[in-house]
Amino acid sequence: MRILFVTSNRLGDAVLSTGLLDHLLRTYPEARFTVVCGRVAADLFAHMPRRERTIVLEKRPWSLHWFPLWAEVVGHWWDLVVDIRSSGLAWAVPTSRRAIMRPRSGHKIAQLAAVLGVSPPPLPVIWPSSQDQALAASLMPADRPVVALAPTANWAPKMWPADRFAALFQALAADRLPGAVPVIFAGPGPEEAAIAATLATALPDAIDLSARLTLTQIAACLQRAALFVGNDSGLMHVAAAAGAPTLGLFGPTAADEYAPAGCRAAAVLSASERMEDLSVDTALAAALRLFTS
C-alpha cells in the first residue's frame, strides 16, 4: 500500500498534521509513505517510520510549483492521497481514494482529523532518532530541571519581549523549579539570533542552542525539558508534539485554532492583541497550572 501525504509548507501546520500521519501509520501497518512539504518542515519526517521519500515543495509564483510536483507523483498508483493543502493535485494523480482538506472552524487538529473522519483528533507526534536522543543527552543537564525558552517567531508582533522571558524564568526558578537551567531555542537568521542573544545576555547561565540543531534534535532536547515557554511558532508545536509541558504565548493570532496540542499543553492570551499586554504574572500563573494538570 502506498500513501501520498501532502502537508503544509509552514512548520507549525506541518507539525500539527503529524497526528494524522501517525493515525495512518497505525491504521495501515503495511503502508509506505511519500510526504510532500516545504523545506522548513522537511526534517520533521527524516526518521518517520515507513517513509519512502520526502518531496520538498519549493513555492513558485502563480502556483507553478504544483506542476513539477505532479510530474513526480503522477507515474505511481496511490492507494490513498491525503492533501491538507486543498490543492487540485489529488484529482490529477491515479489513486483509489482521495481525502482533501476543506475549510472548517475549530482547532487545527480537529480540522485535520475531519479530513479522514477521525475522532477524537489525534495529537501531533515527532520521530527523533537514537542519534538525536544521544546528542540531546550530551547537551541537556541531567541533574537539574530545564526550562526551554523560545523567544522568536516568524512575525514580530507575535513575540513577547525578551526581558519578560527572563523575568518569567527567574520567577519559576525562585518558586517551582529551584536550580533550573534556561535553554534557548530559536531558528536561523540574524533577527532570531539577535533576539536569542538579548535573552542570553539577560540570563548569563543560559545554554543557547539557537540555530544549532535540526528539528528532530530539538525535539529530543525538548523531551528532557521540565517546561517549554514560547511564542506562537513552529517550535511551540514541536515542543508539544515532543511531549514537553508546553506553554504557548498568544496575542495577535488565534489561540482557539493554533494553541499547542499535546498531552500537557496550554495557551495563555494577552489582554489585547499586543504581546506587550501579556504580563509576567499571567504567564507565570499559566505555567504553574501546567504542573498541576
Percent of the chain scored above 70 by pLDDT?
A: 100
Taking the C-alpha atoms of residue 107 and residue 222, their distance in angstroms, rounded to an integer, is 23
Q: Using CA atoms in the order 220, 59, 98, 72, what is the torsion angle rounded to 10 degrees? A: -100
Question: Measured in Å, how far apart are the chain's first and last C-alpha atoms?
Answer: 41
Same domain, 10 and 33: yes
Taking the C-alpha atoms of residue 89 and residue 33, their distance in angstroms, rounded to an integer, is 16
Collapse the DSSP code of 205 into the 3-class scheme (helix H, G, I; strand E, B; otherwise coil) and give the result. coil
Last residue of a domain, one of 91, 116, 141: 116
pLDDT of residue 62: 75
pLDDT of residue 222: 98
Taking the C-alpha atoms of residue 9 and residue 87, their distance in angstroms, rounded to an integer, is 13
Same domain, 147 and 64: no
Same domain, 161 and 79: no
Establish whether the linkage from the previous residue to 161 is cis, with ω within 30° of 0: no
Q: Are 56 and 9 in contact (CB under 8 A)?
A: no
pLDDT digits (tens, 9 = 90+) for 88-100: 999 999 999 999 9
Same domain, 222 and 268: yes
Q: What would the mean pLDDT of 216-236 be, rounded to a whole number?
A: 98
Query: Going by C-beta distance under 8 Å and a sequence separation of 6 or more, which residues neighbour residue 276?
Result: 161, 270
For residue 264, the enclosing domain spans 130-292
Compute how many other C-beta atoms are within 10 angstroms of the C-beta atom of residue 19: 21
Same domain, 214 and 268: yes
Same domain, 139 and 209: yes
pLDDT digits (tens, 9 = 90+) for 134-173: 999 999 999 999 999 999 999 999 999 999 999 999 999 9
Question: In this model, does residue 112 exceed pLDDT 90?
Answer: yes
The H or E element containing residue 149 is: strand 146-150
Taking the C-alpha atoms of residue 131 and residue 167, their distance in angstroms, rounded to an integer, is 34
Residue 125 falls inside a structural domain: no
pLDDT class for 292, splitting at 50, 70, 90?
A: confident
Q: Are 253 and 232 in contact (CB under 8 A)?
A: yes
pLDDT class for 3, splitting at 50, 70, 90?
A: very high
Residue 93 falls inside a structural domain: yes
Residue 141 falls inside a structural domain: yes
Domain count, the chain: 2
Higher pLDDT pick, 58 / 202: 202
pLDDT digits (tens, 9 = 90+) for 227-284: 999 999 999 999 999 999 999 999 999 999 999 999 999 999 999 999 999 999 999 9
The three grid cell numbers given for residue 101, joined into one nine-digit string? 482538506
Same domain, 55 and 162: no
Residue 58 falls inside a structural domain: yes
Full-model pTM: 0.97
pLDDT of residue 66: 87
Last residue of a domain, one of 116, 144, 166: 116
Question: In this model, does residue 293 exceed pLDDT 80?
Answer: no
Give the E-state strand segments of 168-231 in sequence order: 181-184, 207-208, 227-231
Same domain, 140 and 262: yes
Same domain, 45 and 179: no
Question: In this model, does residue 188 exceed pLDDT 90?
Answer: no
Residue 70 φ/ψ, nearest 5 degrees: -55, -40
pLDDT of residue 60: 82
Residue 121 falls inside a structural domain: no
Same domain, 180 and 276: yes
Same domain, 150 and 236: yes
Residue 98 falls inside a structural domain: yes
Residue 124 falls inside a structural domain: no
Question: In this model, does residue 64 exceed pLDDT 80?
Answer: no
Same domain, 238 and 286: yes
The three grid cell numbers given for residue 276, joined into one nine-digit string? 506587550
Q: CATH number, domain at 111?
A: 3.40.50.2000
Last residue of a domain, one of 86, 116, 146: 116
Establish whether the linkage from the previous residue to 120 is cis, with ω within 30° of 0: yes
Mean of all residue pLDDT scores within the chain: 96
Residue 230 φ/ψ, nearest 5 degrees: -160, 160
Residue with cell 519549493: 58
Question: In this model, does residue 63 exceed pLDDT 90?
Answer: no
